[in-house]
Amino acid sequence: MKKILLAVFVYMAFTLPSFAVVTPEEVKSEDYIINHGHSNEMARLMDLQDSQVNGSQSDYKSKNPAWYAEKKVSFVRKVFMYFDPALDDEKFMQHNINYTNRWDDL
């Protein structure tokens, strides 16, 4: 009887943890990412990458106001980015990478 109980205990010890399944949809969810110690920006980037891979629309919108798209403001921001390369251009993971050098890559 003891051998049977020991065998059942060993069997359950190895099989029960395998039922703790986390689906890919759960891993990509914003709540799961934030609850596991990552930032809101990481959740945004993961959603953006997932939407790019699947060809769907991202849940997150641009942080920039609408007037950032105006040509005059865009030109002034590019001038500032030319003199201060550390200025964030808000295009991280949102543009195609071009491996040729251009004047606006400075």
Q: Which residues does the chain have with pLDDT short of 50?
A: none
Question: Are both 8 and 22 inside the same structural domain?
Answer: yes
Question: Are both 37 and 88 inside the same structural domain?
Answer: no
Q: How far apart are CA 4 and CA 7, in angstroms?
A: 5
Per the structure, the complete domain to which residue 81 belongs is given by: 62-106
pTM of the predicted model over 0.85: no
Question: Are both 8 and 55 inside the same structural domain?
Answer: yes
Quick one: pLDDT at residue 98? 66
Q: How far apart are CA 81 and CA 45, in angstroms?
A: 23
Q: How far apart are CA 54 and CA 99, in angstroms?
A: 24
Quick one: pLDDT at residue 68? 77
DSSP codes joined into one string, 19-86: G----HHHHHSHHHHHHTT--HHHHHHHHHHHHHHHT---SPPPSS-GGGGSHHHHHHHHHHHHH-TT
Question: Are both 2 and 46 inside the same structural domain?
Answer: yes
Question: Are both 84 and 47 inside the same structural domain?
Answer: no
Q: How many domains does the chain have?
A: 2
Question: Are both 10 and 27 inside the same structural domain?
Answer: yes
